[in-house]
Amino acid sequence: MQENIERVLASGEAEVVAGDKIHAVDADVFAPCALGGVLNAKTIPQIKAKIIAGAANNVLDDEVADDRELMKRGILYAPDYIINAGGIISVESEVHKEHLDDAARARKVAHIAETLTEVFEASDKQKQPTGKIANELAEKRIDDKRRALRSAAE
């Protein structure tokens, strides 16, 4: 493994960057995949990427202010709880003993892209940050499900 790392570094196609500086690298996509709160008033102005899409939870230090700042800077933010939904789909299948076959799981995972598209399009149309739109969509879906469950119970 170390040989492969050294070979890539020697090729000049990669560089080693300290973890607390990785957000400022010149890249198309910044993918925070470990720590929460990495997008904040200090780091957001240093971000050169135009897309933020990572697997870490709660990447915005201040959910409202940081969401607005990303939009203001023209950075497309994929809200973490949407982009991470594949893990929840897997856990749901295991917890509820409804192990989904590959086709069923693929259909559910396809909804992740559909939801992201819905959020991005609504954000663009309404001129609102993607995190705000995602939260409103999540609240609506939860409310709709609650109403449906109440109606079914009556």
User: Please, what's the largest Cα pairwise distance for the chain?
Assistant: 68
Mean pLDDT, 10 residues at a time, the chain of 154 residues: 84 84 93 93 97 94 98 97 88 72 82 96 98 97 92 85
**DSSP annotation string for 6-18:** HHHHHHTS-----
Tokens standing for residue 21: 């500086």
**Residue 126 and residue 46: Cα distance in Å, rounded?**
26
- pLDDT reported for residue 102: 76
Domain borders along the chain are: 1-77, 80-154
Ramachandran area for residue 42 (φ above 0: left; ψ -120 to 50: alpha; else beta):
alpha
pTM over 0.75: yes
- pLDDT reported for residue 14: 80
Q: Where do the H-state alpha helices sit in 12-101?
A: 63-72, 80-83, 85-95
- pLDDT reported for residue 97: 64
Superfamily of segment(s) 1-77 = NAD(P)-binding Rossmann-like Domain (3.40.50.720)
- pLDDT reported for residue 30: 96
